[in-house]
A and B are shown apart, each in its own frame.
Chain A
Amino acid sequence: SQTIHQWPATLVQPVGSPLSLECTVEGTSNPNLYWYRQAAGRGLQLLFYSVGIGQISSEVPQNLSASRPQDRQFILSSKKLLLSDSGFYLCAWSAHGGNYGYTFGSGTRLTVV
């Protein structure tokens, strides 16, 4: 069966510090991968999506970047965090071409102080 792992669960970082969140998927190959952010009181905002290694599309301009160095690994990064980067970050995967929704990781609660 497929599983998705995301870490860390919580993170408190000072403004201006770097960020690296990692997500890995097991039990499937060539998944579509996604990063979402959920700010307090707001809906899920799609940040990045990827259909394959090295293929990243950004949904909205922001202070973040994403990379996919391996088929089942997706990384969210920032060189210098802003207060507005605080939120609940969720990684998700879906199968190519299927009529399926996303399966989400357990999320990372990021607080920038």
Chain B
Amino acid sequence: GQNIDQPTEMTATEGAIVQINCTYQTSGFNGLFWYQQHAGEAPTFLSYNVLDGLEEKGRFSSFLSRSKGYSYLLLKELQMKDSASYLCAVRPDDRGSTLGRLYFGRGTQLTVWP
């Protein structure tokens, strides 16, 4: 089975930095993804990590430690539009398969205050 945990809610103020953590226990590992989902909309892709370390993409960065089963998404210079749910998703190791199943955590609802 797959177990992916992340905090339910977080709040921060405009211009601040926030770190959203994700821990996982999965049957194999072949990549961790972060998605952003605004209320009533579909999730949109933010980042992908498969090796340990930090991946930076503009105001967003994502970190992975495979040995600890841990990732975080770092959002800098927060803006009001960053208020959304942030979903952590893990792809198990489907060795020999072309399937790319992703299993999602429940999401972290981030509220950015002015």
Segment from B12-20, B52-60, B67-75, B101-109 that makes contact with A: B101-109
| Closest residue of A by beta carbon distance from B105 | A43
Interface readout for A49-73 with B: 1 if CB under 8 Å, 0 if not?
Answer: 1010000000100000000000000
> Which residues of chain B come closer than 8 Å to A43, judged between CB atoms?
4, 87, 104-107
Residues on B lying within 8 angstroms of A by beta carbon are: 4, 31, 33, 35, 40-45, 48, 50, 87, 89, 98-107
A-B contact pairs, 19 of them (CB 8 A): A32-B100, A34-B101, A43-B107, A44-B87, A45-B104, A46-B101, A49-B99, A49-B101, A90-B42, A99-B48, A100-B48, A101-B45, A101-B89, A101-B102, A102-B100, A103-B45, A104-B43, A106-B41, A106-B42
